[in-house]
Amino acid sequence: MTARKRSRRTPAEHRAAARNTAGRTQTTARPREPEPHTRVFVYGTLLAGESNHRHMAGARLIGEARTEPTFRLYDLGPFPGLVEVGSHFVIGEVYEVDEPTLAMLDRLEGHPRFYVRESIILETGAAVQSYLLMPHQVIGRPIIVSGSWRAHTKGTPT
């Protein structure tokens, strides 16, 4: 039977090892940066109670909102289209979404091939993102004069 030889550290080596360990602990314990969020104005099937609202499950409702009166809302059958041409307010909701939810909404809305996500101004002056169509995409489609998809589909005046 042979005796195992234990390695011995000097007091200076112990202090150096402790400093190295402490340094690693400090760098890995940095606080996480908050994930960036985007405010998105929705006006159709993403509204609360509408058919695509389930896609907003990870989003935080900021509140109801209206655009500046520089838009028109069009009826495209199963969903509406917002065009930045006109003199109507459009009624909707603003949500705060994280990057994965924004990417999923981009896919759902066909950005940038169908809808284009752009910054718009609400009547409060706040800038938010929303999904818009180009005027040539709505030629011949009925205008939703009330500016409210929900009222239009439920047949109630606003």
Residue 158 has pLDDT above 50, yes or no: no
| C-alpha to C-alpha distance for 68 and 130, rounded to whole angstroms | 13
Domain boundaries defined on the chain = 37-142
Task: Give every CB contact of residue 129 below 8 A, 6+ residues apart in sequence.
Answer: 38, 39, 40, 41, 102, 117, 118, 119, 120
Coil, helix or strand at residue 119? strand
CA 55, chain centre distance (Å)? 11
CATH class of 37-142: alpha beta
Q: What is the pLDDT of residues 76-121, one digit of tens each?
A: 999 999 999 989 999 999 999 999 999 999 999 999 999 999 999 9
| Overall pTM surpassing 0.85 (yes/no) | no
Q: Are 83 and 45 in contact (CB under 8 A)?
A: no
Q: Which residues are identified as catalytic?
A: 109
| C-alpha to C-alpha distance for 72 and 85, rounded to whole angstroms | 6
